[in-house]
Amino acid sequence: MRELTYVARRTVEWREVPDPGLRSDQEAIVAPVAATPCDVDSSILAGHGFIEPPFALGHECVARVVETGADVTAVAPGDLVVVPWSINCGTCDRCRQGLTAHCASVPYMAMYGAPIGGSWGGLFSDLVRVPYADAMLVPLPAGLDPVAMASASDNWSLAWRLVAPHLRARPGARVLVVARGSIGLYVCDIARALGASDVLYVDPDPAHRALAEGFGAATAEAVEALEPARQGGFDIAVEATGRVDQLARTVKSLAPEGICESAGNHFRPGELPLLDMYLTGVTLRIARDNVRAHIPDALALAASGTVAPEKVVSDVIDWEDLPSALPEKHLKPVFVRAEG
């Protein structure tokens, strides 16, 4: 089979590797049918990652189950499933606490699309081995489009986690989103659907801002440019830029005892205004997403019809065009494979 491999800045290529096979009765083999780059893949492709190439890329997809081990009961061949970005067993203490990104049964940082905690391949591959099928795979609810939900593996479900629990605790909160890609746009959509009284989306890209306005958000080009009346007024802020200076500006826009969620991946160091944060009373949460625990919640919201993740999909591109099209600049391209 072929595995899309990141080989150098702005360069990916198919590499031929042996087909994966079941190694235990708990495993499944799946074939991605709709896969999309995570926002951090764009940074990797631009040469800003910290892992030396070559490695198999991709950790967001909806896949078709091809083969299951004898002990697998939650999914069957033919099912459409969401494949979470991180590898988790479902039975260790960490997994049972919902800390699925910290599973104790696999190496630290075991994930698809980056060989940090072992090599699990990438989801831009023709076939993928899923080591704990019942624990990891989530059937795609009927009626949801694999193209629209390709990002449920990570960015869509992460966006749910960044804002939904905080809006539940603070109904009608004002939400600031400082972002550069799909995560922030999903957050705007989800925040509006879950009753945020006001959403301000900050992004230098006019096309991104137009999408956010479609989700009912007010927009601004730069967080530096927020008028003073708006600063200091947000109960919830989400930063998804990968830049520490942007995170610093974001926390300065919080209301007293406000909460800031950061999507992380700050590959370069920087400083945070800790004294200002102390004086305001800021809770900053920056955490790798335990995505498997809330993929079902994020899918349920998508199935409710109150959100429109499909609007963030910028391009639908044939699977065979991955090597040429993935390094191009797109907001959220989804690569689809013809089945049959």
The residue ranges that bind Zn ion (CB under 5 A) are 38, 40, 88-89, 92, 95, 103, 105, 154
Q: In the bound complex, what is the minimum distance in angstroms from residue 141's beta carbon to Zn ion? A: 22
Structure tokens belonging to residue 24: 């235990």
- Of 38 and 127, the one with the shorter C-beta distance to Zn ion is 38
- Of 230 and 288, the one with the shorter C-beta distance to Zn ion is 288
* Selection from 262, 280, 18, 266 nearest residue 127 by Cα: 18
| Closest CB to Zn ion: residue number | 38
Any idea what DSSP says for residue 140? P
Q: In the bound complex, what is the minimum distance in angstroms from residue 273's beta carbon to Zn ion? A: 27
- Interacting residues of 142 by C-beta distance below 8 A, sequence separation 6+: none
Q: In the bound complex, what is the minimum distance in angstroms from residue 262's beta carbon to Zn ion? A: 14
Q: How far apart are the C-alpha atoms of 334 and 314, rounded to whole Å?
A: 8
Q: In the bound complex, what is the minimum distance in angstroms from residue 95's beta carbon to Zn ion? A: 3
- Of 187 and 254, the one with the shorter C-beta distance to Zn ion is 187
Q: In the bound complex, what is the minimum distance in angstroms from residue 312's beta carbon to Zn ion? A: 15
- Of 90 and 233, the one with the shorter C-beta distance to Zn ion is 90
Q: In the bound complex, what is the minimum distance in angstroms from residue 241's beta carbon to Zn ion? A: 14
Q: How far apart are the C-alpha atoms of 60 and 184, rounded to whole Å?
A: 17
- Interacting residues of 134 by C-beta distance below 8 A, sequence separation 6+: 26, 71, 72, 73, 74, 75, 90
- Of 107 and 256, the one with the shorter C-beta distance to Zn ion is 107
- Of 151 and 219, the one with the shorter C-beta distance to Zn ion is 151
Helical pair 206-214 and 182-193, crossing angle rounded to 10 deg: 20
SS (H, E, C) 25-49: CCCEEEEEEEECCCHHHHHHHCCCC
Q: In the bound complex, what is the minimum distance in angstroms from residue 291's beta carbon to Zn ion? A: 9
- Of 113 and 146, the one with the shorter C-beta distance to Zn ion is 113
Amino acid identity, position 279:
L
Peptide bond into 53 cis (omega under 30): no
Q: How far apart are the C-alpha atoms of 288 and 332, rounded to whole Å?
A: 21
Q: How far apart are the C-alpha atoms of 133 and 29, rounded to whole Å?
A: 9
8 Å CB contact between 67 and 259:
no
| 174 beta partners | 198
8 Å CB contact between 283 and 262:
no
- Of 60 and 203, the one with the shorter C-beta distance to Zn ion is 60
Amino acid identity, position 125:
S
Q: In the bound complex, what is the minimum distance in angstroms from residue 10's beta carbon to Zn ion? A: 19
